[in-house]
Amino acid sequence: MIWIEEPLVFDADFHRDPYRVYDRLRGQEPVQRVKVSSRGHHTWLITGYAQARAALTDPRLSRDTRRFGHLFGDRRDIAPALRDSMLATDPPDHTRLRRLAAPAFTASAVDRLRPRIQQITDQLLGAIAPKGAADLINEFAVPLPVTVICELLGVPEHDRPQLRRWSNALFTTADAATRDQAAHHINDTMAVLVAHRLHRFETGAAHQGEDGDLLDALITARANGDLLNQQELVSLAVLLLIAGHETTTNLIGNAVLALLLHPAQHTAIADHTVSDSDGLVPAIEEFLRYDSPLGIATVRFTTCPVAFGPVTIPAEQIVMISLGAANRDPAHFTDPSALDLTRTRPRQGHLAFGHGPHYCLGSGLARTEAHIALTGILRHLPHLHLDTRPQQLAWRPSRMMRGLLTLPVRWQPHT
Ligand code: HEM
């Protein structure tokens, strides 16, 4: 076994440039045991593309946090609200939960949401465009996906600001008690919502097939005569709420930052997007690869010893798979640290949405939201530039998400 005693991976400087750390680790050994806390905790970390891709489809690596959550001890490395969700189960449970939810995320279901996403985008940009300056994260990249997913789930408007704050706390607060509290609040709010909807169906106040929202569709979703039970519905609603906005916020924020730091590509794509936004479709894939929204790491647990080339991870270990590091692996992508919006994709593409059974269910929705959002920004915020020094940007101190806390920008308002 290769055992490299490392300095702390997630040190105070880590989030400013995680790729510097990940490149160094991958160069030593793409699968290795690393130190993740000053109290001496160690975890396995995968930084290579081939190894990450293999790990994401290997049934010997579990996602079941009910079975393996104890491995974290008193450290709460994953969002507690996600512990009972589809993302925290293995087949066959996972297969059933995913099959019931999947119809809500087909290409045609996402297409039906397009006009409303466009309307929300126009409203948000319409409010900030005349100002000439804004924090693009909190005034645009946060409210857009939050509004979309809350409307989809039928979350009442008065619950949204609180849900947003609690969800944010899950990924930014270091304090485990605060995270647990936030998770419970989210769970309780969604449980009340689900109970209310189920009651409407049970009392005949709502009918199957009625033109309701996503929650109604999930309540009536059936596969082989199966229905989601109340707890499963709550878990799914919580998962969608959280997965549905933090990541999309990061995609929009990271993409805009990448453009601002690459002025020639920014100008080229902005000029092109004025008349035709098709060029943004491959560009969004490059943004996803270059600075992946769920780029710090996702988690698995070994059910038995698993060999990756010369390295064998023993059974019952936490394995962090860094999708962001995998997407910058020079063994798979040419010149991976360069942003290249015209990059031709290798046959096996980026891993920003994961791979295998847990591949992101909302990838179509996320791509659509990002496309509409970036088109709007490029068209309505001309001569956009950063209003702070890049070194001063504040990143989320998360071990999953790669995203900015704020993005101060300026532009020249249309006269
Ligand atoms: C799973 C990324 C947006 C719903 C995942 C996974 C990744 C991911 C990497 C797999 C994690 C793993 O295997 O451990 C992203 C990114 C997004 C995004 C980068 C935005 C840019 C969304 C949206 C929704 C969503 C908008 C829904 C509204 C889900 C669900 C799963 C998932 C339900 C679990 C799937 C399963 O366990 O089978 N996402 N996601 N995601 N995502 Fe997304």
pLDDT, tens only, 153-178: 989 999 999 998 888 887 777 677 88
Give the chain's mean pLDDT.
Answer: 90
Q: Ligand 1 centroid to 263 CA: how many Å? A: 30
Rounded to 5°, the CA angle 192-77-253 comes to: 80
Highest mean pLDDT among 76-85, 113-122, 213-222: 113-122
Residue 284 to residue 264: CA distance in whole angstroms: 17
Residue percentage of the chain with pLDDT more than 70: 93
> Bigger pLDDT: 199 or 32?
32
Ligand 1 atom at shortest distance from the alpha carbon of 101: 33
Q: Cβ(253)–Cβ(259) under 8 Å?
A: no
Residue 1 lies in a domain: no
Give the residue numbers spanning the domain of 172: 14-410
Q: Ligand 1 centroid to 209 CA: how many Å? A: 27
Average pLDDT over residues 114-130: 97
Q: Give the residue, out of 94, 213, 353, 369, with the most ligand 1 atoms within 8 A of its beta carbon, to mutate for a pocket test.
A: 353
Predicted confidence at residue 77, as pLDDT, reads 46
**Which residue has its alpha carbon closest to ligand 1 atom 4?**
362
55-94: pLDDT as tens digits = 999 999 999 988 898 888 765 545 555 666 899 999 998 9
Average pLDDT over residues 117-131: 97
Residue 239 lies in a domain: yes
Q: Ligand 1 centroid to 239 CA: how many Å? A: 9
Q: Ligand 1 centroid to 42 CA: how many Å? A: 26
Q: Give kind and range of the element (H or E) at residue 385.
A: strand 385-386
Predicted confidence at residue 231, as pLDDT, reads 85
Residues 6+ apart with CB under 8 A from 214: 104, 152, 153, 154, 240
**Which residue has its alpha carbon closest to ligand 1 atom 34?**
87
Residue 7 lies in a domain: no
Strands, DSSP E only, in 229-322? Answer: 298-302, 306-308, 311-313, 318-321
Residue 9 lies in a domain: no
Residue 295 lies in a domain: yes
Q: Give kind and range of the element (H or E) at residue 44.
A: strand 42-46
Residue 2 lies in a domain: no
336-388: pLDDT as tens digits = 999 999 998 888 999 999 999 999 999 999 999 999 999 999 999 999 999 99
Q: Give the residue, out of 360, 368, 372, with the most ligand 1 atoms within 8 A of its beta carbon, to mutate for a pocket test.
A: 360
Average pLDDT over residues 394-403: 91
Q: Cβ(293)–Cβ(352) under 8 Å?
A: yes
Residue 12 to residue 20: CA distance in whole angstroms: 14
Residue 166 lies in a domain: yes
11-27: pLDDT as tens digits = 878 999 999 999 999 99
pLDDT at 282 over 80: yes
Q: Cβ(117)–Cβ(368) under 8 Å?
A: yes
Q: Ligand 1 centroid to 372 CA: how many Å? A: 19
Predicted confidence at residue 326, as pLDDT, reads 98
Q: Give kind and range of the element (H or E) at residue 116.
A: helix 107-128
Name all residues whose Cβ lies below 6 A of ligand 1.
56, 86-87, 98, 149, 239-240, 243-244, 247-248, 251, 293-294, 298, 323, 352-354, 358, 360-362, 365-366
Ligand 1 atom at shortest distance from the alpha carbon of 366: 26
The enclosing domain of 63 has a CATH number of 1.10.630.10
Average pLDDT over residues 184-191: 90
Q: Ligand 1 centroid to 415 CA: how many Å? A: 40
DSSP secondary structure letter of residue 302: E
The domain tally of the chain equals 1
Ligand 1 atom at shortest distance from the alpha carbon of 245: 26
Q: Ligand 1 centroid to 360 CA: how many Å? A: 4
Predicted confidence at residue 376, as pLDDT, reads 97
Predicted confidence at residue 116, as pLDDT, reads 95
Average pLDDT over residues 193-219: 77
Ligand 1 atom at shortest distance from the alpha carbon of 355: 13
Q: Give the residue, out of 100, 105, 113, 247, with the most ligand 1 atoms within 8 A of its beta carbon, to mutate for a pocket test.
A: 247
> Bigger pLDDT: 274 or 89?
89
Residue 58 to residue 321: CA distance in whole angstroms: 13
Q: Ligand 1 centroid to 247 CA: how many Å? A: 8
Q: Ligand 1 centroid to 286 CA: how many Å? A: 18
Provide the pLDDT confidence category of residue 37 given band limits of 50, 70 and 90: confident
Residue 52 lies in a domain: yes
